[in-house]
């Protein structure tokens, strides 16, 4: 299966979650076992030699490939969630996104200074959510932070908001 085939299998939903937004639905990649395996293999190959100790997935679609990738890399998985969803003591960052303001949280003890982190989410648009997640993780002073997306919307230049020490990659570019 090629990257072009993966791109063709993504469902586009206009005017979701608000009018004027074209939503790229990756659940169509996940329901096809061949596409899911291809995506898993591609992500693994991208990060297998980076020494990743924890994969951090952003609610909610980062919770799908994040644990799969963590298992393949022999790493732990850490969820970043919306407020009120995590049971222990948390840290948080608020941010503006394309269609409103939001806050993300993670457990205060989830990451330590010996960790090499891979932050994962499904889509890079303007980058606000991942930038907030990156700030959240960096509060814990890990050794290194990598950022990964399944899809990057290149025309929105979301990569531009990340500092140079953060390596940002995506599997697919649209």
Q: Is 45 a catalytic residue?
A: no
- Nearest CA among 108, 135, 119 for reference residue 77: 119
Q: What is the mean pLDDT of residues 63-71?
A: 97
Determine, yes or no, domain membership for 41.
no
The total of other beta-carbon atoms located within 10 Å of residue 30's CB is: 18
Is the distance from CB of 35 to CB of 26 less than 8 angstroms?
no
| pLDDT for 27 | 95
Determine, yes or no, domain membership for 129.
yes
User: Per-residue confidence at 126, pLDDT binned at 50, 70, 90?
Assistant: confident
Q: What is the mean pLDDT of residues 52-75?
A: 97
User: Per-residue confidence at 99, pLDDT binned at 50, 70, 90?
Assistant: low
User: Per-residue confidence at 54, pLDDT binned at 50, 70, 90?
Assistant: very high
Is the distance from CB of 62 to CB of 80 less than 8 angstroms?
yes
Residues 6 or more apart from 160 whose CB is under 8 A from it? 127
pTM for the full predicted model: 0.94
Q: Is 98 a catalytic residue?
A: yes
Q: Is 121 exposed, middle or buried (0-12, 13-18, 19+ CB in 10 A)?
A: buried
Catalytic residue among 59, 92, 98, 169: 98
Q: Say which CATH number the domain at 115 has.
A: 3.40.50.2020
Catalytic residue among 38, 61, 131, 152: 61
Domain that holds residue 99: 50-173
Phi-psi region of 28 (alpha: psi -120 to 50; beta: other; left: phi over 0): alpha
Q: What is the pLDDT of residues 103-115, one digit of tens each?
A: 999 999 999 999 9
Determine, yes or no, domain membership for 42.
no
Determine, yes or no, domain membership for 16.
no
Residue 160, pLDDT above cutoff 90: yes
Is the distance from CB of 131 to CB of 161 less than 8 angstroms?
yes
- Domains: count for the chain: 1
pLDDT-wise least confident of 17-21, 86-90, 97-101: 97-101
Strand boundaries in the chain, DSSP class E: 11-14, 22-25, 54-58, 76-80, 90-97, 100-107, 116-124, 144-152, 167-173
Residue 71, pLDDT above cutoff 90: yes
Q: What is the mean pLDDT of residues 65-77?
A: 98
| pLDDT for 98 | 62
Residue 50, pLDDT above cutoff 80: yes
């Amino acid at each position: 299966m090629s990257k072009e085939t993966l791109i063709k299998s993504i469902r586009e939903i206009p005017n979701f979650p608000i009018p004027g937004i074209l939503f790229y639905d990756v659940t169509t990649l996940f329901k096809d076992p061949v596409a899911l395996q291809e995506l898993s293999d591609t992500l693994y190959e991208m990060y297998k030699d980076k020494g990743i100790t924890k994969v951090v997935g952003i609610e909610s679609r980062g919770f799908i490939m994040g644990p799969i990738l963590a298992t393949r890399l022999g790493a732990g998985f850490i969820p970043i969630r919306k407020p009120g969803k995590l049971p222990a003591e948390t840290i948080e960052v608020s941010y503006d996104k394309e269609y409103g303001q939001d806050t993300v949280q993670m457990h205060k003890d989830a990451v330590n200074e010996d960790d090499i982190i891979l932050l994962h989410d499904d889509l890079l648009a303007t980058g606000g959510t991942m930038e907030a997640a990156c700030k959240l993780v960096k509060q814990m002073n890990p050794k290194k932070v990598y950022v990964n997306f399944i899809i990057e919307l290149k025309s929105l230049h979301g990569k531009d908001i990340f500092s140079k020490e953060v390596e940002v990659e995506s599997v697919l570019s649209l």
